[in-house]
Amino acid sequence: MLPHLKTILSAAVALLALSGVPGADAAACKNPAVRKEWRALTKTERVEWIDAVKCLAQLPHDENLTPTVNRSISNIVALNASGSYYDDFVYMHMDLNTRIHFTGLFLPWHRWYVAVYENALKTKCGFRGASPYWDWVKDSADVHDSPIFDADPESGLGGWGDPANDFRVPNGAFSNTSDFHLTYPSPHTLRRNYTLQPLLNFPLPGFLTAADEQLDGNATFTPAERDKLVNGFVGDFKGFQSYFESFNGSHGAVHLTLGGDLGGTCPDDAPSDCVGGPTFSANEPIFWLHHGMVDRLWTQWQDKHPENKHAFFGGSVEALENATYYKEFPNGAAPFFNLNSTMPSDGLFPQPRIADVMSTTAGMLCYVYE
Ligand SMILES: [Cu+2]
């Protein structure tokens, strides 16, 4: 126990010294930031977050961004130095796609990613709030008409895309006539394509049952499904992550129900070698709210049982070659990670260790969810 605590503390001190990642009070975490649900924010608070996101999208590319995955593996377009700092965040996720999904890094890396993004909003764009989340469980009965899809040009996330215009979002603060422009995989504006049954004709054979393929996306994030996730899998990190991240689980279903950028579909006018998938999903500002919710459910699971708090297990190599292999290693095959393993940050940030983000109120982090 003691050496473990000691390494967490020394890592926190080292990280603060290096670049002051999240939370000014992180060393002690006496006053955690409170992350709120989008609908609990005042209109002014929504405008502040939106303005900061759009500010990041006006800042220049950071030359420190250094892709680490060979493009024959990542299947992504080349880095585009004319993109914005927001695009750099997207590109890091594109580059690292095969290392941070269906591996043990999924939960800790995305927790870290939302935290460093939130910190960039603060340090580069004057944001003073906390990263919001979208509690999609509240909308499981009717995602299409959720009030989060608000057309207000200053405080709204915008509605559904126009099918006659490549599902480009026509209203809200990130509309196709706003100054929110995206670079990857090719220059375009934000797209959203409501998809009721996102698993129809699923491309990987044997991964899903015929019944799964018929699922309505929202059936995966009902209150009952959330309770099953948060209350179950006691001490079983692999089981928890793989239920959450599986193709018929809530994490992916939210991505695919919103379609467009969050669903990882290529723009109509992208080059013909564009490969869809999870890579450029962070183009969608709702990505940060969605992954806030994913992180929130992980914190709820961690708090549910003492055996969950520090539970961690996962491999470093995606096991997606076939369904049998995937079922054995849904969160990655060997070599396996441990809490001291570092996570990739593509030159934009110091590399965190998994242990640094196992708690949201210790190590390098200092926040709680409302
Ligand atoms: Cu991701």
How many angstroms does the Cα of residue 2 sit away from the middle of ligand 1?
A: 33
Question: Which residues are bridge partners to 336 per DSSP?
Answer: 315
* 3-state per-residue secondary structure call for 342-355: ECCCCCCCCCCEHH
Convert the pLDDT of each residue in 182-195 to its tens digit. Answer: 999 999 999 999 99
> Which helix (DSSP H) or strand (DSSP E) does residue 95 occupy?
helix 85-100
Quick check: 88 and 346 in contact, CB under 8 A? no
How many angstroms does the Cα of residue 249 sit away from the middle of ligand 1?
A: 14
Question: Which residues are bridge partners to 34 per DSSP?
Answer: 368
How many angstroms does the Cα of residue 153 sit away from the middle of ligand 1?
A: 27
pLDDT at 84: 98
CATH topology of domain 2-369: di-copper center containing domain from catechol oxidase (1.10.1280)
Which contacts of 286-290 are long-range, i.e. CB under 8 A and separated by 24 or more positions?
286/134, 286/148, 286/157, 286/258, 286/262, 287/262, 288/53, 288/114, 288/117, 288/118, 288/131, 288/132, 289/38, 289/132, 289/133, 289/134, 289/148, 290/133, 290/134, 290/136, 290/254, 290/255, 290/262
How many angstroms does the Cα of residue 263 sit away from the middle of ligand 1?
A: 11
Convert the pLDDT of each residue in 204-232 to its tens digit. Answer: 999 999 999 999 999 999 999 999 999 99
Strands, DSSP E only, in 155-196? none
pLDDT at 26: 54
How many angstroms does the Cα of residue 87 sit away from the middle of ligand 1?
A: 14
pLDDT at 82: 98
pLDDT at 21: 53
**What distance lies between CA 320 and its chain's CA centroid?**
20
pLDDT at 22: 55
How many angstroms does the Cα of residue 235 sit away from the middle of ligand 1?
A: 24
ipTM of this complex > 0.90?
yes
How many angstroms does the Cα of residue 187 sit away from the middle of ligand 1?
A: 20
Residue 285's φ and ψ, nearest 5 degrees, are -55, -30
How many angstroms does the Cα of residue 3 sit away from the middle of ligand 1?
A: 32
pLDDT at 6: 42
How many angstroms does the Cα of residue 307 sit away from the middle of ligand 1?
A: 26
How many angstroms does the Cα of residue 6 sit away from the middle of ligand 1?
A: 30
How many angstroms does the Cα of residue 99 sit away from the middle of ligand 1?
A: 10
pLDDT at 11: 45
Q: Is 31 exposed, middle or buried (0-12, 13-18, 19+ CB in 10 A)?
A: exposed
How many angstroms does the Cα of residue 93 sit away from the middle of ligand 1?
A: 6
Q: Within 13 A of 364's CA, how many CA atoms are on the CB side?
A: 28
Mean pLDDT to the nearest integer, 106-119 = 98
pLDDT at 315: 98
Closest of 321, 362, 357, 361 to residue 340, by C-alpha: 357
Convert the pLDDT of each residue in 268-307 to its tens digit. Answer: 999 998 999 999 999 999 999 999 999 999 999 999 999 9
What are the C-alpha distances in Å from 196 to residues 140, 146, 214, 216, 224? 11, 14, 10, 6, 19
Which carries the bigger pLDDT value, residue 184 or residue 18?
184
Compute the mean pLDDT over every residue in the chain, rounded to the nearest whole number: 93
What whole-number distance in Å separates Cα of residue 263 and Cα of residue 195? Answer: 9
pLDDT at 27: 66
How many angstroms does the Cα of residue 278 sit away from the middle of ligand 1?
A: 6
Q: Is 100 exposed, middle or buried (0-12, 13-18, 19+ CB in 10 A)?
A: buried
How many angstroms does the Cα of residue 1 sit away from the middle of ligand 1?
A: 31
